[in-house]
Amino acid sequence: MLSSRVSPAGLTAAAAAGLLKRLLYGVLVLALLALAVVLGAAVLSRLFGYHTMVVQGGSMGHSLPNGSLVYCRWVEAGDVELGDVILVQEETASGPAPPKLHRVVSLEREGGQVLVQTKGDLNETVDPKVYILPERVLTPAYTLPYLGYLVGFAVTPLGWALLVALPMTVVGLFTLRSIWADEERAVAKRGTA
């Protein structure tokens, strides 16, 4: 005699597969939301006068760890004081060097200009260049350690593919499959009625 009952083992496997699918879908959606929040915060902060940068070096030690996401705000050059951390950028023969955040260790005011020398907290020597500060300079306001690694990776082609395109594709496929499954069930239900 044939039975229409499903065995408990079959039900458990089907329930586990369904739970696993829902869990994966939820994790992907949460990952996309988290990434959107981080990238959105980096972009939206500019509306409030902040700029973001990723620390790419360990010269500042624990005060600005390598891989940190730093929110910087503008300050007037005249407000810079000895001991402040500022963003400086050198001009080289091949163009501008990558910007760096270093601490002001020497400060002079001459004829309306502010001249500073900087040094990384872990560096043994003072940076050799004396910087003439522009009217405004960036200084760190908030630091989010290690989050810069994620932001830095997300803007690469591989990071974009793995952190954005792949999860969006999987979530989209799950959604389409769910829609199609609902339509198939509705058609099957109408056919039995």
**pLDDT for the residue 20:** 80
Answer yes or no: is 30 within a domain. no
Q: What is the pLDDT of residue 159?
A: 83
The CATH number given to whatever domain includes residue 109 is 2.10.109.10
Q: Pull the structure tokens for residue 59.
A: 């010269």
Structural domain includes residue 82: yes
Residue 134 lies in a domain: yes
Query: Residue by residue, what is the 3-state secondary structure of the chain?
Result: CCCCCCCHHHHHHHHHHHHHHHHHHHHHHHHHHHHHHHHHHHHHHHHHCEEEEECCCCCCHHHCCCCCEEEEEEEEHHHCCCCCEEEECCEECCEECCCEEEEEEEEEEECCEEEEEEECCCCCCCCCCCEECCCEEEEEEEEECCHHHHHHHHCCHHHHHHHHHHHHHHHHHHHHHHHHHHHHHHHHHHHHC
- For residue 52, being part of any structural domain is answered with yes
Q: What is the pTM of this model?
A: 0.67
> For position 146, what pLDDT does the model report?
87
- Residue 4 is predicted with a pLDDT of 52
- What domain range is 85 assigned to? 46-149
Instruction: Tell me whether residue 10 is in a domain.
Output: no
- C-beta separation of 171 from 107 below 8 A: no
Residue 77 domain-assigned? yes
Residue 48 pLDDT: 84
Assigned domain for 38 exists:
no
pLDDT tens-place values along the chain, 193 residues long = 455 555 555 568 777 777 887 887 787 778 778 777 777 777 778 888 888 888 988 999 999 999 998 999 999 999 999 999 999 988 788 888 888 999 999 999 998 899 999 999 999 999 988 999 999 999 999 998 988 888 788 778 998 888 778 878 887 887 888 788 777 777 777 777 6
Long-range own/partner contacts, residues 103-110 (CB < 8 A, 24 or more apart)? 103/60, 104/80, 106/82, 106/130, 107/80, 107/81, 107/82, 109/78
- Please indicate, yes or no, if residue 178 is contained in any of the structural domains: no
Q: What is the pLDDT of residue 2?
A: 52
pLDDT recorded at residue 131: 93
Domain count, the chain: 1
